[in-house]
Amino acid sequence: MAPDCIFCRIVGGGIPSRKIYDDEDIFAFHDIRPVAPVHFLMVPRVHIASLYECEPSHAAALGKMLAMAGRLAREQGATDGFRTIINTGRVGRQEVYHVHMHVIGGPDVLPGMIVRK
């Protein structure tokens, strides 16, 4: 646990959140500023600042985030598809430095992902 980390404090219960799932490895909760009808975040319980800091020992938690995303998305109402996003570092526009995966969906809300220049 990193005491100054918002998501560590959410996982620890010190900051309230709208939790949708947790187990011994991961924690999932609604994003406080959703960009779509379904928008939740999945995080490892352990503090990892970004994908740059990930190591093989983190594979179980990271894999579980992916393995659980579809089930949780469906339960939240994203039944016809969703997008997963992990922003990393400055160029990735990461704002909170505790690895998190956005799960974003809902009816026909997502634009094409990559704008080709």
Residue 50 binds ligand 5GP, judged by CB under 6 A: no
The residue ranges that bind Zn ion (CB under 5 A) are 2, 5, 7-8, 47, 98
Residue 96 binds ligand 5GP, judged by CB under 6 A: yes
Cβ(89)–Cβ(50) below 8 Å: yes
Least distance from C-beta 94 to ligand 5GP, angstroms? 4
Q: Which does 69 bind (CB under 5 to 8 A by kind): Zn ion, ligand 5GP, none?
A: none
Residue 27 binds ligand 5GP, judged by CB under 6 A: no
User: Would you give the DSSP letter of residue 77?
Assistant: T
Which residue type does 99 have? V
Q: Is the dihedral of CA 87, 22, 32, 36 positive or negative?
A: positive
Indicate if 102 belongs to the active site: no
CA distance 51 to 87: 9
Q: Which residues are catalytic?
A: 100
